[in-house]
Each structure stands twice: as C-alpha cells, then as structure tokens.
Amino acid sequence: MGEQEQERPRPEPEPEPDFVYTERDLMRSGIRWDGARPDSRFDEALRLAWERRMRAGCFRYRLWEPELPVRELPGRCRLLAQLNVRRATERRKPQEILSVRQPFDPQRFNFSRVPRRELLFRLRPSPSPEAGGAEALLIINVSPLAYGHVLLLPEPELLRPQALTRAAVLRALELVFLSSEPAFRVGFNSLGAFASVNHLHLHGFYLPHRLQVESVPTEPLGEAGVGARLHRLCGHYTRGLALYSGGRARDRAEVADTLLAVSDLLLRRSLAHNLLVSRGCPLGPGPGPGPGPGPESRDGVRLIVWPRTPCFGAKDESAFNVAVCELAGFLPVKTARHFESLTEESALRAIGEEQLPAEHFSRLCAEIAALPLP
C-alpha cells in the first residue's frame, strides 16, 4: 500500500525560484573523484527540483539509479554500458535533419512549447555578463538517460537552430563549474550528429563513472594562434580536439571564443560535431612528478569536440547511435539483446565508423591550427 501511494502522481509542481549565482559560486578548487566534498548550492537546487518532478510524474518514465542495469565492458577503455529500454520506446520521435545548417522551423516541436511543469528554474548570472541577453532556462529531459538529466536552453526566446553560440558555451562552462560533482557533465550534439530537436539546447546529467577523455594526454595543434590553445587527444579511441578552462571569467570567455571559431569552421565545411564539457585534467602529456595538479584533480574543465561526417535523416531507434555520450565512453543501449552482447571491440567498431577518417582529421587539424585567435 505504501509503495502504491508513492507511485501516485502528486499535484503539478510550480517552477522553482530563479537560480541566481555569482563568480563566488563557481567551484575552482578541491574537486576530486576520490574526495568527499558536499554538494554545491547548484547541486542541491538541481537535485531537489529534479526529484520533485520525478515524484510528481512529470517524466515519461520513472528513473532512479538502481533501476537501470549498467556494466563496465571488459577492456582498456573502461566503457560503461547502460540498458535503458523505455527511452527507446517512450521518447518523443526525433526530428528529421537534412543539413548541419538547417534553419529553425517554428512549425516543428521546439522548447517554447514545453509545459510549465518541465521548467526547473531560470539561470541568472549576477551581474549579467551580457547586458540585454536572453535568459537561460534549465528544464527536465522527460526521457532521461541518467539521474539529473536536464536540458540547458541558453537563449530559448531567440528561437535559434541547433548551432553553438557564445552564450551557449559560457552557460555550459558555468554549469559544470557550479557543480562540486566531477560526475556532472554537459553535452551537445549538432545537427547531423544525432541532435533530436532543431532548437538550441545542451544536455546535463550526473554520471558517477570516470571517463578516459577526462585525463587522456593531449598535444597542441600548433605553436601560435588557435593551434596553441587547442589540443588533439593522444592515445584515445576517438579523434577529438580539446580545450581547457581553469574557471576564471576571462579564461572562460577566451575558451568560448576559440571554440566558436572552431565550430564556425566546421559548419562552413558542413561537418557535424559533438561536444563534451566535463571536469578534467589540464591539457598536455599528463601530470608529472613535480608540483601542480595531481592525476585525481578535477579543478578545471575540459571541452572535447569531435568533428564527424554528418548523418542525416531520422534516428534509427533500434540501432546503436553514436552521439556525445558514446564518444565520451558512456553507452546507453536500447535493447536487452545489445546490452548483453556488447563488447569493447564491437562498441569501438561502431564508434570508429562515425568518426572522420584519419587523413581527413589531420587536414582539418592543420586548417584549424592556422586560424587566428579570435
């Protein structure tokens, strides 16, 4: 009887008060996987609001951490597979995408149509770094992949298509720095890289699993300009580019401008791309024996971008789709058959098929390295 009462939907919740934050709320030290730091003010607000929506029945299905089977695939890459059948069967049908620069279409579903119960809160940096800019919203993802799965809408009222903007990158960086949990990540899928809705949005969620891409060695693309700030991943199973932010306002702005220069070039070349924003080690060959951050430090944030050949048309929901989560090492699997049979070898093969060929990636890196700093 008690369990039935808990399952009964409660009255529809109202949006939470605006979440106002300052530079003092950004967590730039003491973040470690082996630490026991308490939740930040942002983590507390997000968890409380998200769980309230889950109890009220605002999602398409219930999701609590113990209910989803997970297993780490044997092998060197530490890929984490998760079985989430109901996301495949009950989520909204993804939109058909035909171009990486497809214009916004107000006749199709967009996030201006979501009901009020899905809104968690407005994000308000104080003082606002962009006078007159549109407010950012945080809403639930009604078909969640993981605990705390939300959508970040950087400028929802401007009805922008699914292409990165400076405000989007800055809000994504701020969200990760607001959390004291290295498990909190933000991801972005461009058009042609398995974005489901052509209205600017990013994903945020908690994943209590270390990802190799957080600490894999990197090397700079060049000695000057964008090439000095931008690195390529070394010894990883993907061909990706990396930026790093220590969290200060000027540094975040420079990182955002650099990433926008790269994404603008990718769009001009009609290349799709995925982006992960996650706590990580500083870029370079890795921590050495001298002073500096240790291998467990996650005080800064890595931004990993994966250029790729676009895949157009509606998603095949029965297949293993390779988007930002899969490239990062988190593999949401939609059928029990795939979950039970998946191996590291088969997963890496599927991921490899979605990446740029090595020669194409090398030519692209040379072109990006020649870009002037914005």
What are the extents of the domains in the chain? 14-98+111-369
Output the pLDDT for position 313: 65
Output the pLDDT for position 247: 94
Q: What is the average per-residue pLDDT within 282-293?
A: 64
Is residue 2 scored above 60 in pLDDT? no
Output the pLDDT for position 134: 60
For the 14-98+111-369 domain, the top CATH level (class) is alpha beta
Output the pLDDT for position 10: 57
Q: Is 201 a catalytic site residue?
A: yes
Output the pLDDT for position 318: 44
Confidence (pTM): 0.92
Output the pLDDT for position 64: 63
Distances (CA, A) of 269 to 162, 191, 336, 373: 16, 13, 38, 19
Q: What is the average per-residue pLDDT within 313-333?
A: 79
The listed range with the strongest mean pLDDT (57-61, 104-108, 150-154) is 150-154
Half-sphere exposure of 6 (CA within 13 A, CB side): 6
Q: In what order do the strands lie in the sheet with 70-72?
A: 70-72, 80-83, 330-333
Amino acid present at 343: T
Q: What is the average per-residue pLDDT within 95-110?
A: 90
Is pLDDT larger for residue 45 or for residue 286? Answer: 45
Residue 358's H or E segment, with its range, is helix 358-369
The proportion of the chain whose per-residue pLDDT surpasses 90, expressed as a percent, equals: 71
Output the pLDDT for position 295: 63
Q: What is the average per-residue pLDDT within 71-83?
A: 95
Output the pLDDT for position 110: 94
Q: Which of 58-72, 103-117, 174-188, 245-259 has the lowest mean pLDDT?
A: 58-72
Return the beta strands (E) in 14-77 as ranges.
19-21, 70-72
Kindly report the number of other CB atoms within 10 A of residue 340's CB atom.
12
Is residue 55 scored above 70 in pLDDT? yes
Q: Which member of 199, 201, 203, 236 is catalytic?
A: 201
pLDDT tens per residue across span 184-227: 999 999 999 999 899 999 999 999 999 999 999 999 999 888 88
Q: What is the average per-residue pLDDT within 141-152?
A: 94
Residues 6+ apart with CB under 8 A from 331: 73, 79, 80, 81, 82, 320, 325, 342, 347
Q: Which residue has the tokens 């950004």?
A: 26
Q: Which of 136-145, 179-188, 248-257, 287-296 has the lowest mean pLDDT?
A: 287-296
Is pLDDT larger for residue 255 or for residue 196? Answer: 255
Q: What angle do CA 212, 218, 221 make, to 5 degrees?
A: 145
